[in-house]
Amino acid sequence: MNRRRFLKTGLLGGVALAAGGAWIVWRDVRDADAGIPARDHLAIVVRAVAPVMLAGSLSDTRPAADVTRIVDGVKTVIAAFPASVQAEVADLFRLLDFRSVRRLLTGVASDWPVAHPQEIAAFLERWRHSRLSLLQSGYFALHDLILGAWYADASTWDALGYAGPPNVE
């Protein structure tokens, strides 16, 4: 094989790999946005991550109801943010719901609803201790939103031994 043929083959291989990668990402975006109304990326991710972040805190009898309240609480908090912050948070949840991005950035191979809690915990620890400030920011955004929604819910206060905010009259 001469040098010219080698370079052409390499260039064609690179183009083929780029096209394949673009097709995979396009397919993931299409799949993640499938459904009418639009897929609720936030709910999908929070339903998977919240039980791991709050391990041992959710009720034994109704953990699904607890997670539903957390999802609603996170949505309530995000609704109070300025529009630019809402868009950034929506982008975070949308990206985390893309199959290829999820695998690349989090290491979670399974779809969120069936992901193993140990896989999710490992991803959270990687992001928490990452040298990349963007991943750390993503972790702390998830952390603050989920724990904030949990601790702001008055139904959790008895279990925490918190009597509620002082009555100022």
Q: Are the C-beta atoms of residues 45 and 123 closer than 8 Å to each other?
A: no
- 3-class state of residue 81 by DSSP: coil
* Amino acid 27: pLDDT: 67
Consecutive sets of 10 residues in the chain, 169 residues long: mean pLDDT of each? 76 77 66 56 92 84 85 92 89 83 87 92 95 92 92 83 77
Backbone φ/ψ region at 107: left (φ over 0), alpha (ψ -120 to 50), beta: left
Q: What is the pTM assigned to this prediction?
A: 0.74
pLDDT for the residue 23: 66
The span from the CA of 67 to the CA of 69, in Å, is: 5
How far is residue 29 CA from its own chain's centroid? 15
Q: Residue 57 has what pLDDT? A: 80
